[in-house]
Amino acid sequence: MTASFAERLSSRIQRFGPLCIGIDPSNRLLAQCELPDSAEGALAFGRRVIDAVDAELPIIKPQAAYFERFGSAGWRALEQLCAHAQSAGLMVLLDGKRGDIDATADAYGDAYFGPSSTLPADAITVHAYLGYAALAGLVARARTAAAGVFVVVRSSNTEGQALQQAVTADGSSVAMALAAQISADNASHGDGAGAVGAVVGATCTDAAATVAALPQSFILAPGVGAQGATLADVAERMPQARGRVLPSVSRAILRAGADPAALKQTICQLRDQAKALLSG
C-alpha cells in the first residue's frame, strides 16, 4: 500500500528538515538569470533550482501562474518540471490556489489527483472563498491518490487580513472557522497528520492561535525572505508546529539563480537553518 501524503512528507521533513522552495519564474527572475522569458526559459530555470536542491529538501512548490502565462506551452513545461522533480525524488506542491463548487471543484481534483492526470501533484493549494465544504470532492480525490491539499487560511499579505479576520455567525473569524473545518475533516480520517494542510503566512505576528487550531495539519508558511519574515520568526510565531511547518522561500533564494554554485550555497544555508530551528 502506498504511504499516505502525511507519512511521506513527515519522513522527508525528518530527514531533510522542513524548508520548501517556491519556483516562481517571473520575467524579472528569468532576465536576471539570462534565460528567455518563455516556457523553455521557465523550465530551464525550474530545472536549475531542482538540480541545485539535489533532492535534499522535502518538497518544492512551483507556482502555476508563472507557467500559465505561457499558455499550453507553459503548462507542458510545468508538467515536465514536476515530472523531473518527482523522478529526482522530490515531492511537488503545486501552488495554484484553485477552488470552485461541486462538479467544477471535482474537475480540479481530477486534474491533479485523477488516475489519468498528466500533472500528478503530491499536493496543491486551494482557496475556500466558496466554502470549505464545496471542496469535499477535491479533497476526497487527493486522499484517494495519497496526496494532500493546502487551504489558504491566513495569507502572508496585509490586504487579505480584513476578510480573513471577519467574524462569522458563530463568533469565530473566517480563518478560525476554516481551521476548525479542516481539523474536523482531518480528525474524521484518523489520528496523526492529515491530508489537509493550511497556508498560514509567516508574516502573521499572531499566527500562534491559528496554528493551535490546526493540530493535525501541515502548515505552509510563505512570506519568508522577500516579504520580510525570517525562519526565526516562524519558530517564534508557530512553536506548536515544529516538525510540520514548511517555511516557504521563493525570491530570496531564486535571485541567486544566475549562478548555480551560489544558488546551491543559498539553499544549503537556509535548509540547515530551517532544520536547526524548526525540525520536530
Residues forming contacts to a copy of itself in the complex (CB under 8 A) are 24, 26-28, 63, 65-66, 68-76, 78-79, 97-105, 107-108, 110-111, 114, 117-119, 127-134, 152, 155-169, 173-174, 177-178
Answer whether 56's CB lies under 8 Å from 49's CB: no
| Min CB(229)–a copy of itself separation in Å | 14
Single-letter residue type at 40: E
The H-or-E segment that residue 141 falls in is: helix 136-144
| Min CB(163)–a copy of itself separation in Å | 5
Residue 97 designated active-site: yes
Residue with smaller CB distance to a copy of itself, 114 or 243:
114
Answer whether 12's CB lies under 8 Å from 53's CB: no
Catalytic member of 61, 97, 264, 275: 97
Q: Following DSSP, what letter does each residue of 198-246 receive, concatenated?
A: EEE-TT-TTHHHHHHT-TT--EEEEEESTTSB-HHHHHHH-GGGTTTEE
Q: What is the dihedral of CA 163, 129, 245, 210, to 10 degrees?
A: 40
Q: How far apart are CA 135 and CA 142, in angstroms?
A: 11
Which of 243, 156, 264 lies closest to 203, judged by CA? 156
| Min CB(222)–a copy of itself separation in Å | 9
| Min CB(11)–a copy of itself separation in Å | 28
Residue with smaller CB distance to a copy of itself, 10 or 210:
210
Residue with smaller CB distance to a copy of itself, 127 or 275:
127
Residue with smaller CB distance to a copy of itself, 85 or 278:
85
Q: What amino acid positions are annotated as catalytic residues?
A: 97
